[in-house]
Structure 1
């Protein structure tokens, strides 16, 4: 065990920023905090680091209660989305700064900075100053400085958000490798479900200050605990509709119906289906036709996103290829209902795509 939050919560001026939270993050693990802006990710990280004191609960690290211990007395590093480097120092001195504060020998500093610079692919830039670096190189420098002191806890608060697309993709691919051999707890905050899926590890879904789900990233994506967690883990937003199961059929309305998953009791449900499981074309004879009115069609070089109204609900389709539609046009789109989630009237998942039913 490494980092454990026991009913940790935070209130500021009577407003709850983080509701009482229980969470255990193991050493050697890569953990993603996934949620929209203002979901509570940064506050939760600041509580973990000791930058903020919890209003309720306790924080333990390696079976020691560190709740009242200031950040200066914890072996913690944090990287923000802004490029925070010392402008008057070289890249070498930026990375070396925490080691000098800890009074390591110059030989040890040279060895560790060199190894970290090689890992982050900035060895050729050690004599430069931050102003001479690209955005990606500056962020690599900030991350190298955070990692060089072998922290027990490394917190990455949307560190790639301000980088261009190419640099984000490059660092996304490298991060799991960079942290793969380190015996620390890594926590990475993001608003993007695709990042969580790319990193793997474990994910905590956050919504309005609550951790709604936590576990292996793939499991949460495929079997979210509830509708809120499914919403957090879907971009574009997951499509939902009220349906009823009766006599082995799912009824959305009198014209839209399909075979119910095995084992699903009769009753009322909310379905959820991700946009990439709805397409203007299909070869699946089991796909269900959804007729609606197009609000807007967004076309890119390889994808089409279609926003449309259907049966009183707003839906989104995200599909490969270019599929042009005009606003106001009537359109038929096809839903792969084998990928539906079924939530009960309390929002709890009772059946997931592929016909798996929760018990």
Structure 2
């Protein structure tokens, strides 16, 4: 089973909401759509589910063109962030509803419902109605309905957004196991980068209706292809500064300069945006290749076994994140050390030019 998008677009009143998108989604892992509110995640899911018409392109499921098929004929399941259950039905009947519509025999329906209820620990609630359930139990009911239906594709549109923290953590851990080995393509939309990292699988980064990058989540973290992608998986925020390459020298304003090595040496001379994650900016020199920086400490924070310091240079305000407890004083000028091998260099267009290496 697979879901393939071939150059699909969506328009509303002449305005393009989804820019040309080509994508292959496969089972065996979560396919995460990651982006801020308004990035196009829900719009893309609606197109795949058949809830909205596409303007151009094709959608194929397991090689079959379903572009013009309605939602019912696509054999998909959709779970929203809101608890979409029928209030007049019991939990049993809510889970069974798509199976009854499909005309499945009662004996088979009962088996499927009970299996899904057991997976999601809902068997004691099968005779209750939604208003008698907690928010977590209501969302479990919606997930059980998707499992019982045994759909070809399951679309989860921020399904944990309205749950409290403890329930989110619990269900987030369970979700990959719930759909493992079922052969369905699972698409999970979220605005939280941490969820994408925890779920693993593959991630599609979306911005303004455009797929910015798609691939294994860990690969996007290690090799972001754009400045937007680099920003996404960095907490604290990734450090950025404008630099220039002149011959074999990289200059960061009046703050620092160092020799270009490896692939960076082959870059054309000119202006670039340098980006480096805070844990590659240390208060202690650890390598002979480290680039020395000095900045005025603005804010410090001790979190568990890590120390962070926000500091101000002439070129930019940066953050250092280091293991251990470090004695920072607010307002003091402190030495920091940049690992040049961990830097990304982005062209003025925002696309990756090269990542640092020595």
Q: Into which bin does the TM-score normalised by the smaller protein fall?
A: 0.7 to 0.9
Query: Deviation digits for residues 130-171 of structure 1, max 9, x if unmatched?
Result: 333332222111111122101111111111122222222222
1:205 aligned counterpart, secondary structure: strand
Cα distance in 2 for partners of 1:2, 1:188 equals 15
Task: Give the match for residue 99 of structure 1.
Answer: 99
Q: Structure 1 residues 147 and 239 mapped into 2: Cα distance closer, same or farther (>3 Å)?
A: same
Unmatched runs of 5 consecutive residues or more in structure 1: none
Which residues of 2 match residues 196-207 of structure 1 at below 5 A?
Answer: 196-207=196-207
Q: Normalised by the size of structure 2, how large is the TM-score? A: 0.87
Which residues of 2 match residues 23-102 of structure 1 at below 5 A?
Answer: 23-102=23-102
Cα distance in 2 for partners of 1:136, 1:246 equals 58
Does the 8 A contact of 1:81 with 1:161 survive in 2? yes
Does the 8 A contact of 1:34 with 1:232 survive in 2? no
Pair 1:291-2:288 in alignment: no
Cα distance in 2 for partners of 1:83, 1:319 equals 42
Task: Give the match for residue 272 of structure 1.
Answer: 275
Cα distance in 2 for partners of 1:86, 1:248 equals 67
Q: Structure 1 residues 51 and 31 mapped into 2: Cα distance closer, same or farther (>3 Å)?
A: same
Which residues of 2 match residues 166-181 of structure 1 at below 5 A?
Answer: 166-181=166-181
Q: Structure 1 residues 182 and 47 mapped into 2: Cα distance closer, same or farther (>3 Å)?
A: same
Query: Deviation digits for residues 273-315 of structure 1, max 9, x if unmatched?
Result: 1234345556556544443455555665666665544334343
How many pairs does the alignment contain? 355
Q: Structure 1 residues 345 and 73 mapped into 2: Cα distance closer, same or farther (>3 Å)?
A: same
Q: Structure 1 residues 175 and 319 mapped into 2: Cα distance closer, same or farther (>3 Å)?
A: farther
Q: Structure 1 residues 247 and 326 mapped into 2: Cα distance closer, same or farther (>3 Å)?
A: same
Task: Give the match for residue 351 of structure 1.
Answer: 354
Task: Give the match for residue 341 of structure 1.
Answer: 344
Which residues of 2 match residues 134-213 of structure 1 at below 5 A?
Answer: 134-213=134-213
Q: Structure 1 residues 326 and 347 mapped into 2: Cα distance closer, same or farther (>3 Å)?
A: same
Cα distance in 2 for partners of 1:16, 1:41 equals 14
